[in-house]
Amino acid sequence: MAHDHDHHEDLIDSLTNEYQALLDNSKQGIYIYLDDANKVCNKLFATFLGYSSEKEWASVTTSFPEAFVDDASQSTLVSAYQDAMEHGIGSANEITWRKKDGKNVRSNVILVPIMYDGHLFALHFVTKSR
């Protein structure tokens, strides 16, 4: 099993290198998700949720919905993720996030499935609701 984890870590590192210009230059928060332990975000998304850096955000390995998503939005985000992974469906959803300090912040999330090196990832673009 450790081999899978190492492989996933290598995948995230490689994908991050490939997407670095988009992550650095987008005017939206972005995160790319493989599993709870293997994910990457840009600085905008990390600070949106109250984390000091992308690495600090990525180091949270507990259940993604429980760690980052308000209870009322968890089923919406999980369903959108399942549609993307199982059926190749992109979506736009209103999601309320749980910040590091426990406060909530509302957003619009565009979620699309992407393939990288034969693996399916979920690419998310996040914009704070006005």
For 81-105, what is each residue's pLDDT tens digit? 999 999 999 999 999 999 999 999 9
Contacts of residue 57, defined as CB under 8 A and 6 or more positions apart, other chains included, come to 41, 45, 46, 49, 51
Task: Note the pLDDT of residue 2.
Answer: 46
| Torsion sign, CA atoms 60, 61, 65, 71 | negative
Distance CA 85, CA 74 (A): 16
The 3-state secondary structure of 12-39 reads HHHHHHHHHHHHHHCCCEEEEEEECCEE
pTM here?
0.93
Listed by start position, the domains of the chain span: 2-128
Residue 26 clears pLDDT 60, i.e. is over it: yes
Residue 32 clears pLDDT 80, i.e. is over it: yes
Indicate the residue type of 11: L
Q: What is the mean pLDDT of residues 16-43?
A: 97
Q: CB of 95 within 8 A of CB of 109?
A: yes
Question: What CATH architecture does domain 2-128 belong to?
Answer: 2-Layer Sandwich (3.30)
Q: What is the mean pLDDT of residues 46-50?
A: 98
